[in-house]
Structure 1
Amino acid sequence: MSFAFGGFVLLIFSGLPIVFALGVAGLLAIVMLTDVPTTIVAQRVFGGVNSFSLMAIPFFVTAGILMAEGGIARRFVDLASALVGWITGSLYMIAIVTSTGLAAISGSGSADTAAVGSILSPEMRRRGYDLDLGASIIAAGGALAPILPPSIIMVVIAITSNLSIGAMFLGGIVPGLMIAIGLAIACFIVAKRGGPVYRDSEPFSLSRLGRAFVAAIPGLTLPVVIIGGIVGGVFTATEASSVAVILTLVISLLVYRELKLKDLAPLLIKAISLSAAVLIIVATASVFSWIIATLGVPHLLDTWFRGVTESPVVFLLIVNLFLLVVGMFMESISAILIVLPVLMPIAQSYGIDPVQFGVMTGLNLAIGLITPPYGICLFVASMVAGRKVEQVVTKVWIPLIPMLFVLALTAYVPAVVLTLPRAFFP
């Protein structure tokens, strides 16, 4: 098995796209380590995406793209501005609140980061804010999308581990909101020490908040319908994703009227290309996952962990450190499909709830979205702000502190994750 992993790592560092690295390493492992015919590759590639639940991914991606272009994102920014725009460091606060709201619609961290950054980064520059801190906060806000429902990562984790998608969605709500609150506190502390540039002269206005709320109501119905429908048993996560696309189209075309029919073709092509990129990774990674299971890697690792420690506390510490490193170098969905089938059975053998472990895994990989060298949200936020990644990285430790704190709570205080899932899925 070390041959397969070594080949995969070597191919990644050689610059080969991850989808080909997965496929080639998997094929070589089958030829070198098993007597199975190579036709199993085609069977596993097809079987990896032959899932009704996976259809949620292209629909949620489409909904997120339409949301960013159809006026919903701007209404969320206006509402966040009316709600927290009077607080010290207001633009940072607006970025966090807006990202939290958008995360409850799109499930795509990079899309949310681009939407929020394109609106707020120019204003941060005009008002003399620290753009590097602003970009890191916007990137961290984008990283909320894989944690809060409807998260694409949570869908993949649920399918990979045979868990309820609804339970995984609910499990991410409390940690996601705790991170948002932690980010706001961190920004307030920094802004309080940053001088008059962070003081907002515009006072809180209840009438302004009311107007912004009324304008945002159509967009606010989306998370209510999506999450409420899944939890209430009205429809599955896949059906909810298609409902999200329909509602987003109706709101963007007929209510806000910022999206025209002629705009749909390029947006749909973009959604198709992004969805295809995700699903082809799922397909090729399924070959790798099959090899892992066939060669008995989970049992071997379980034996190793038992030799190192019998303590779930130590096990979780080792796994968290490992996943944080993995998230720095690998795309989230690929990491889930390769690592989770190995670690999930071991975690359950230590008595750890699978939903808790799944959410913890998702949170680790969400943190990877803002850590170099791979952090896609960090790259998007830097690009939109017109800053170099090397400059933004110097301030990324500020949002990392609350994110790592919530990660520790997720690992060692199960109620943080499990209270909501157990209330609705006893």
Structure 2
Amino acid sequence: MSVILVGFLLLLLLGVPVVFVLGVSAVMALLTTTQVPVVIVTQRIFAGLDSFTLMAIPFFVFAGIVMDAGGISTRIVNFATALVGWITGSLLLVSCVAAAGLAAISGSGSADTAAISSIMQPQLRRRRYDVDFGAAVIACAGALAQVIPPSLTMVIIAVISNLSIGALFLAGVVPGLLCIVAIMVSAYVFARRGGPQYREIESFTVGRLLRTGYEALPAFGMPLLILGGILGGAFTPTEAAAVSGLYGVLVGLFVYRELKFKALPQLILRAASLSAAVMLIIGTASVFAWLIANDNVPALLGNWISHVASGPVMFLIIVNVLFLIIGMFMETIAAILIVVPVLTPLAGHFHIDPIHFALIVVLNCAVGTVTPPYGISLFVASSVANRTVLQVANRLWMPLAAMVAVLLLVTFVPELSLALPRMAGLLK
């Protein structure tokens, strides 16, 4: 066990991509400390990917790419501008609302962050906003694509924990909206303390709101189609993902008419490339997780937490601290595949609802994507803004504190995440 941990930490500190960190450290452990043949690596990778539900990932990725290429991002930003563009710090608030809208379409935090950054950063510079704070706000808001359904992270955690994807999707609605509101409040407070460039001179008009809302209706039809279809029993989550991809193509081609047939092969290749990267991480992480389980680490960690945690409150505090630390150094999917199978049985021991526990993990993962040094959403927002990660991280504390506050609220008020699934009859 020491070999795999040393190899894992060493490769991680050297900056090796996480997929190779997981695979190489697993092979090192097999070659040096066990009698298990190395061929088990390929078998475990195949077993980790042999799931019909995981096919939802490439379909959701394709749907998000198609909807972005078809002009969806622009329509959502226009609607967000009409909705909150008249408030102090309007560009920051528009970024948050637009990120929430895109999150309900793509399910990818890095994709949402890139899309919003590319649209909003030129405007932030033109209006002389604090670009670093703007990038920090966009990174935090974009990361919430993991919380607001449909979420690729939720699909993965539901698969490995044997949970209802529909119930987990519904559980993320209220916490996701609370996070967006909290980030908007932090942005408003910052803007109120800023200079005259944050004061908005454009007035609110109902006509503009109705016009932009009407133009954005096809975009908002996708989350309704996905959630309605799953909860209504019309199709499985995987089938819902495929339908959403078809819906995105039809909207881009025939409604907005910004998507061209000749662009589809390139978009399909891009979706395949992104999906392959995710799937490869899932496969190698399953090998790593199998080795950890084979060395009885879950039982050891479980015994330690059982002795330290005197009750569910202390257990949840430990879980939050653990994931906040892990999120600083490890990619989301790998963290979920390695840690969640260890902690889920303990959550059951403390009588914590599995949907509530899974939602806490998802929120922690969202926070992890914006915490330095390895937060992917932070990297994306910084690169698009042409700023260093350190410059943006110096302005990160206000929106990040807002996310952590909502995380703690959801942790200790379970009904915030369980009320909607219970109302839909997915929980007792």
CA distance in 2, matches of 1:216, 1:95: 16
* Aligned amino acid, residue 414 of structure 1: P
Q: Does 2:30 correspond to 1:21?
A: no
Deviations 1:278-320 (A, max 9, x none): 0011011111122222232222212111222322211211221
Q: Secondary structure at the match of 2:369?
A: helix
Alignment of 1:221-236 (within 5 A): 221-236=221-236
Deviation at 1:31, TM superposition (A): 4.2
Deviations 1:174-232 (A, max 9, x none): 11000011111111111112132111111110011111011111111111111111122
CA distance in 2, matches of 1:35, 1:344: 29
> Which residue matches 1:346?
346
> Which residue matches 1:274?
274
* Aligned amino acid, residue 192 of structure 1: R
> Which residue matches 1:296?
296
Deviation at 1:137, TM superposition (A): 0.7
CA distance in 2, matches of 1:295, 1:383: 40
* Aligned amino acid, residue 318 of structure 2: I
CA distance in 1, matches of 2:361, 2:281: 18
Deviation at 1:344, TM superposition (A): 1.2
Deviation at 1:28, TM superposition (A): 3.0
Deviation at 1:7, TM superposition (A): 1.8
Q: Secondary structure at the match of 2:58?
A: helix
> Which residue matches 2:200?
200
**Higher mean displacement: 90-99 or 305-314:** 305-314
CA distance in 1, matches of 2:330, 2:35: 30
CA distance in 2, matches of 1:122, 1:400: 23
> Which residue matches 1:161?
161
Deviations 1:122-157 (A, max 9, x none): 011111111111111111111110011110011111
Taking structure 2 as the reference length, the TM-score comes to 0.97
> Which residue matches 1:237?
237
* Aligned amino acid, residue 93 of structure 2: M
CA distance in 1, matches of 2:90, 2:358: 34
Deviations 1:78-135 (A, max 9, x none): 0011111111111111100000011001001111111111111101111111111111
Deviation at 1:411, TM superposition (A): 1.5
RMSD of the TM alignment (CA)?
1.3
Deviations 1:343-364 (A, max 9, x none): 1112211221111111111111
> Which residue matches 1:332?
332
Q: Secondary structure at the match of 1:73?
A: helix
Deviations 1:390-415 (A, max 9, x none): 21111111111110011101211111
Distance 1:10 1:87, change over 3 A: same
Deviation at 1:33, TM superposition (A): 4.4
Q: Secondary structure at the match of 1:204?
A: coil
**Higher mean displacement: 96-105 or 17-26:** 17-26
Q: Secondary structure at the match of 2:41?
A: helix
> Which residue matches 1:136?
136
CA distance in 1, matches of 2:42, 2:207: 60
* Aligned amino acid, residue 160 of structure 2: T
CA distance in 1, matches of 2:33, 2:341: 19
* Aligned amino acid, residue 108 of structure 1: S
Taking structure 1 as the reference length, the TM-score comes to 0.97
Q: Structure 1 stretches of 5 or more lacking a match?
A: none
CA distance in 2, matches of 1:330, 1:242: 30
CA contact (8 A) 1:292 1:342 kept: no
Q: Secondary structure at the match of 1:372?
A: coil
Deviation at 1:77, TM superposition (A): 0.4
> Which residue matches 2:70?
70
CA contact (8 A) 1:68 1:112 kept: no
Q: Structure 2 stretches of 5 or more lacking a match?
A: none
CA contact (8 A) 1:84 1:93 kept: yes
CA distance in 1, matches of 2:320, 2:164: 23
Q: Secondary structure at the match of 2:106?
A: coil
* Aligned amino acid, residue 302 of structure 1: G
CA distance in 2, matches of 1:280, 1:40: 16
* Aligned amino acid, residue 4 of structure 2: A
**Higher mean displacement: 196-205 or 97-106:** 196-205
- State the number of aligned residues: 426
CA contact (8 A) 1:168 1:355 kept: yes
Deviations 1:44-96 (A, max 9, x none): 11111111100111111111111222101100000011111111111111100
Q: Does 2:129 correspond to 1:95?
A: no
**Higher mean displacement: 265-274 or 127-136:** 265-274
Q: Percent identity?
A: 54
CA distance in 2, matches of 1:355, 1:31: 38
CA contact (8 A) 1:175 1:406 kept: yes
**Higher mean displacement: 57-66 or 20-29:** 20-29
Alignment of 1:386-405 (within 5 A): 386-405=386-405
Deviation at 1:34, TM superposition (A): 4.0
CA distance in 2, matches of 1:329, 1:38: 27
CA distance in 2, matches of 1:309, 1:209: 51
Q: Secondary structure at the match of 1:150?
A: coil
CA distance in 1, matches of 2:124, 2:188: 15
> Which residue matches 1:366?
366
Q: Does 2:213 correspond to 1:213?
A: yes
CA distance in 2, matches of 1:292, 1:422: 35
Alignment of 1:39-188 (within 5 A): 39-188=39-188
Q: Secondary structure at the match of 1:15?
A: coil
CA distance in 2, matches of 1:402, 1:86: 23
